[in-house]
């Protein structure tokens, strides 16, 4: 009787891992859209050194994103048969991989947020400068 309860609990845990991992893919799709948007905004920055620095940061995030998406899809692919048949063997690697992927995703999202703030600030300052310059020209 204990085995049936343990199998149900294990299956529930595996399904939860699978659902969380599916949500990660959604988060990565959002991240991909953010990267594309930020690249376009960064391309409009006038200061070349700032533009180059921000584009380099975005490239680093995009590189992390690409590897992370591949690893997450592999993780999901590994989880699927375990959910269908709980009798298959698995080990602690499954949980360690989960923790590693979660950390990598969190890092990518935080880094994207930091770069987004930096790009927005540069864009805001550029707009403020352009507005000030325009007012000087109109009044001068």
pLDDT tens, N- to C-terminus, the chain (140 residues) = 344 446 778 778 888 888 999 999 999 999 999 999 999 999 998 889 999 999 999 999 999 999 999 999 999 988 888 877 755 566 778 889 999 999 999 999 999 999 999 999 999 888 877 666 545 444 55
The answer as to whether 36 is a domain residue is: yes
Cα–Cα distance for residue pair 50/45, rounded to 1 Å: 7
The answer as to whether 140 is a domain residue is: no
The answer as to whether 3 is a domain residue is: no
The answer as to whether 66 is a domain residue is: yes
Number of compact structural domains in the chain: 1
The answer as to whether 139 is a domain residue is: no
In the chain, alpha helices (H): 2-43, 48-84, 93-139
The answer as to whether 2 is a domain residue is: no
The answer as to whether 22 is a domain residue is: yes
The answer as to whether 40 is a domain residue is: yes
Domain residue limits at 44: 8-133
Angstrom CA distances, 31 to 27, 59, 87, 113, 131, stand at 6, 13, 36, 10, 31
- Contacting residues for 21 by C-beta, under 8 A, at least 6 apart: 72, 75, 76, 79, 98, 101
């Amino acid at each position: 009787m204990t085995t049936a309860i343990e199998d149900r609990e294990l299956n529930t845990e595996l399904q939860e891992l699978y659902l969380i991992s599916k949500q990660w893919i959604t988060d990565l799709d959002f991240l991909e859209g953010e990267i594309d948007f930020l690249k376009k905004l960064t391309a409009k920055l006038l200061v070349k050194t700032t533009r180059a620095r921000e584009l380099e940061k975005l490239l680093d995030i995009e590189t992390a994103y690409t590897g992370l998406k591949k690893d997450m899809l592999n993780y999901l692919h590994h989880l699927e048969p375990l959910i269908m048949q709980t009798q298959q063997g698995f080990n602690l690697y499954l949980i360690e991989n989960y923790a590693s992927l979660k950390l990598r995703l969190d890092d990518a999202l935080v880094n994207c947020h930091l770069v987004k703030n930096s790009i927005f600030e540069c864009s805001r300052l550029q707009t403020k400068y352009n507005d000030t310059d325009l007012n000087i020209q109109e009044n001068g």
